[in-house]
């Protein structure tokens, strides 16, 4: 009796349920999907800080380099992560990148379209292809793995065939001159904060070229896109109704449908999301290189999925985060560039990528069991 | 306006070669608690899923407030105030209590295009509503997968009660509940009916069905054996119609026999 009244009293005093153990901030963090990726990226930075700290990897130029690689991967990894949370895969990301590239280049170079029009055309194609992937998966109930694997071959094949048919080659160069004066292209092709780098150069704080201009000229567009997309995706997932629908669709399709979540529409929109992200990736790379290559983006779908998995996404859907995928991309980008600054043979990068994924999957599986099972 | 709120008229539903329902007719008034009874596989869940918008009936029609209704999805049913507790509960175990409670019908705040999910309001309502049927939600951000079976069932029930403004459908809502929670839920059902809702209650427990029900429809192998008013049928008659009475008697005899054999 005294025990009971005591517990009731304690409830009154603290306004909290007496069965609720105080959860430490650490425990809250442990339940977040991006925890593993956060730990991983800290380890990676410590490692290269020690091994390659004095090689120029962490100079402004070096850092922007590995950030650029991470950011490019991150753009597609975030979209892949959202789709995975929604319970599906997209294996056609890499082929979509190649296809979007020629959708920009061929009309601009061979048909004389203004660049903005061909960029718009590429995005329109992306929406169509994403919609097609989505509707196929939703209507047929086939695994997205199969549907998008088919799309992987179709798009890559079409990219090669169309390019060779029209140009007789597998590359379409000559885009760089079109970027200037274009009303849209700058969105994907401008280095920002150039004044900052010029100033830093003047102050002799960062490395200069022989002509006195700084070696690193500004933040590359990929990094800005990457940051913006991470924030946008996180906002959607955590703060909006649509975000709740994404988790619900991936967590339990039937249950979600039965309580009124438009699961089909959610999934289709996520497939459009991955195709559009691939096109953003393609725009940035094509305008940066000044040419489209039919093989661009090869195997990128697997890297994007790997980054999402390292970032805490469950392969079965319903769990994951955009920040986690962003961190996963940073891990891969940093290691793939950092390895150049060490004595390690770059061939080992793929070994690392695989090992990292395995560890992540084992870790995620453990977390999932902890979260879903009634202890 | 007819006296009925919901009418199932000659509903049939086929899954391939399986005849899940054949010519089932059932009518409900406002404020009525209809108990839907029958063996496993009799078609009870299938029948209520035609009202919840999950299945489209292959034959027959559903009349709601004197209008024939055709639902394209469960969303349409929810929109007109039909709240359902599914037998499998339709909860996502990786998601929190609140996110499950409002799944598909999240309250929003903010300006158009930048609307956000109003989590504070949702937390408050979810905890309050579950409190009303006797579940103390310790932490609305707890994942549903870590809740007990009964707690999960109560979550699904309070969700259906919250969103079911006109009709409340409960498919074996008390199967995992203790005596206390079960009677809380039953009390709540009676209260909802007294406020003018029509309630369909599916249960295998005649001790739950008989006290609260006003009328009883018994399904057997996809066909209706008729609807009975409470005054027309005794608890024992109902039990035997559910194909339970005689079998339980037989079971008792068999157990005695086994006991006797074991002793000798
Ligand atoms: N989606 C489906 N596909 C094929 N057959 C189905 C489907 N849903 C139900 N059935 C079949 O229809 C019949 C009726 O099923 P239903 O779930 O309605 O039974 P029930 O009365 O709810 O049984 P229980 O008391 O076990 O819940 C069963 O024989 C079942 O196998
Ligand atoms: Mg059933």
Candidates B56, B76, B92, partner chain A, best to mutate (most A CBs within 10 A) = B92
Per-residue model confidence as pLDDT tens digits over B183-217? 888 988 998 899 889 999 998 888 888 899 999 99
Spatial distance between the Cα atoms of A105 and A284, rounded to a whole number of angstroms: 13
Element spanning A337, H or E: helix A322-341
Arithmetic mean of pLDDT over chain A: 87
Per-residue model confidence as pLDDT tens digits over A55-98? 888 888 888 889 999 999 999 999 999 999 999 999 999 999 99
Lowest mean pLDDT across A30-34, A52-56, A351-355, B145-149: A30-34
How far the first Cα of chain A sits from its last, in Å, is 28
What pLDDT is attached to residue A123?
A: 98
pLDDT for residue A3 is more than 50: no
Q: Does B116 touch chain A (CB under 8 A)?
A: yes
Residue with tokens 């989590």: B119
What CA–CA distances, in Å, run from A91 to A24, A174, A300, A351?
A: 40, 30, 9, 21
What pLDDT is attached to residue B149?
A: 86
Strand segments, DSSP code E, in chain A are 171-172, 292-293
Spatial distance between the Cα atoms of B170 and B35, rounded to a whole number of angstroms: 10
pLDDT for residue A7 is more than 60: no
Spatial distance between the Cα atoms of A297 and A96, rounded to a whole number of angstroms: 8
Spatial distance between the Cα atoms of A339 and A48, rounded to a whole number of angstroms: 9
Q: Does A239 touch chain B (CB under 8 A)?
A: yes
Nearest chain A Cα distance for residue B83, angstroms: 9
Q: Which phi-psi region, left, alpha or beta, contains residue A181 (left: φ > 0; alpha: ψ -120 to 50)? A: left
- Rounded distance from Cα A69 to ligand 1 centre (Å): 53
Whole-model pTM over 0.80: yes
Q: Flag if B94 and A319 touch (Cβ within 8 Å).
A: yes
| Contact criterion met (CB below 8 Å) for A67 and A223 | yes
Predicted confidence band at B243 (pLDDT cuts at 50, 70, 90)? low
| Contact criterion met (CB below 8 Å) for B199 and B31 | no
What pLDDT is attached to residue A374?
A: 53
Spatial distance between the Cα atoms of B85 and B158, rounded to a whole number of angstroms: 9
Residue with tokens 């002793």: B263
What CA–CA distances, in Å, run from A374 to A255, A368, B13, B28, B146?
A: 19, 12, 36, 38, 4
Per-residue model confidence as pLDDT tens digits over B92-106? 988 999 999 999 999
Q: Flag if A261 and B104 touch (Cβ within 8 Å).
A: yes
Answer with the residue of higher pLDDT: A4 or B228: B228
Question: Averaged over B226-245, what is the pLDDT?
Answer: 80
The candidate with the shortest Cα–Cα distance to B56, out of B94, B21, B82, is B21
Q: Flag if A241 and B84 touch (Cβ within 8 Å).
A: no
- Rounded distance from Cα A357 to ligand 1 centre (Å): 41
Give percent of chain B above pLDDT 70: 97
Question: Averaged over A357-373, what is the pLDDT?
Answer: 76
pLDDT for residue B176 is more than 90: no
Q: What is the ipTM of this complex?
A: 0.89
Spatial distance between the Cα atoms of A148 and A164, rounded to a whole number of angstroms: 24
* CA–CA–CA angle B91, B92, B97 (5° rounding): 75
Per-residue model confidence as pLDDT tens digits over B27-82? 999 999 999 998 888 999 999 999 999 999 999 999 999 999 999 999 999 999 99
């Amino acid at each position: 009796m005294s025990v009971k009244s005591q517990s009731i009293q304690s409830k009154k005093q603290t306004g909290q349920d007496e069965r609720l153990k105080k959860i430490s901030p650490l425990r809250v963090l442990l339940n977040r999907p991006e925890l593993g990726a956060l730990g991983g990226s800290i380890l990676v930075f410590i490692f290269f800080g020690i091994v390659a700290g004095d090689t120029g990897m962490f100079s402004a130029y070096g850092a922007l380099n590995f950030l650029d690689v991470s950011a490019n991967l991150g753009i597609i990894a975030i979209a892949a992560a959202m789709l995975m949370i929604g319970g599906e895969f997209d294996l056609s990301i890499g082929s979509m990148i190649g296809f979007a590239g020629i959708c920009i280049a061929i009309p601009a170079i061979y048909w004389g379209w203004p660049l903005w029009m061909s960029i718009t055309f590429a995005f329109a194609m992306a929406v169509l292809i994403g919609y097609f992937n989505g509707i196929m998966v939703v209507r047929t109930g086939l695994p997205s793995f199969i549907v998008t694997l088919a799309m992987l071959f179709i798009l890559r094949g079409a990219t090669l065939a169309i390019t060779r048919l029209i140009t007789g080659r597998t590359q379409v160069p000559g885009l760089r001159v079109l970027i200037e004066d274009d009303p849209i292209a700058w969105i994907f092709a401008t280095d920002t904060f150039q004044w900052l780098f010029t100033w830093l150069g003047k102050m002799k704080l960062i490395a200069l070229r022989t002509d006195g201009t700084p070696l690193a000229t500004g933040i590359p567009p990929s990094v800005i896109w990457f940051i913006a997309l991470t924030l946008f995706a996180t906002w959607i997932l955590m703060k909006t109704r649509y975000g709740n629908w994404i988790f619900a669709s991936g967590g339990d399709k039937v249950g979600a449908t039965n309580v009124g979540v438009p699961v089909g529409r959610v999934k289709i929109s996520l497939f459009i999301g991955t195709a559009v992200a691939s096109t953003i990736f393609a725009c940035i790379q094509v305008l940066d290189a000044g040419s489209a290559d039919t093989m661009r983006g090869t195997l990128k779908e697997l890297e994007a999925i790997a980054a999402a998995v390292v970032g805490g996404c469950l392969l079965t859907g319903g769990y994951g985060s955009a920040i986690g995928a962003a961190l996963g991309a940073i891990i891969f980008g940093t290691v793939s560039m950092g390895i150049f600054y060490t004595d390690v043979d770059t061939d080992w990068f793929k070994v690392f990528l695989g090992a990292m994924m395995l560890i992540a999957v084992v870790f995620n599986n453990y977390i999932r069991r902890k979260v879903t099972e009634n202890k | 306006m007819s006296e009925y709120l919901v009418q199932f008229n000659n509903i049939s539903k086929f899954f391939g070669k399986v005849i899940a329902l054949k010519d089932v007719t059932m009518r409900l008034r406002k404020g009525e608690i209809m108990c839907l009874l029958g063996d496993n596989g009799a078609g009870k869940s299938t029948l209520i899923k035609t009202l919840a918008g999950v299945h489209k009936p292959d034959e027959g029609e559903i009349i709601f407030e004197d209008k024939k209704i055709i639902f394209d999805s469960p969303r349409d049913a929810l929109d007109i105030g039909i709240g359902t507790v599914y037998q499998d509960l339709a909860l996502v175990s990786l998601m929190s209590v609140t996110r499950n409670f409002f799944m598909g019908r999240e309250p929003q705040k903010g300006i158009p295009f930048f609307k956000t999910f109003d989590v504070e309001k949702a937390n408050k309502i979810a905890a309050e509503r579950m409190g009303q049927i006797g579940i103390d939600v310790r932490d609305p951000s707890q994942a549903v997968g870590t809740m007990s079976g009964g707690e999960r069932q109560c979550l699904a029930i309070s969700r259906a009660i919250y969103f079911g403004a006109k009709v409340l459908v409960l498919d074996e809502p008390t199967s995992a509940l203790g005596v206390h929670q079960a009677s809380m839920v039953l009390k709540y059902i009676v209260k909802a009916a007294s406020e003018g809702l029509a309630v369909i209650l599916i249960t295998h427990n005649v001790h739950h069905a008989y006290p609260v029900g006003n009328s009883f429809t018994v399904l057997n192998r996809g066909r209706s054996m008729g609807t009975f008013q409470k005054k027309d049928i005794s608890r024992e008659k109902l039990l035997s119609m559910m194909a339970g009475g005689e079998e339980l008697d037989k079971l008792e005899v068999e157990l005695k026999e086994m006991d006797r054999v074991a002793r000798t």
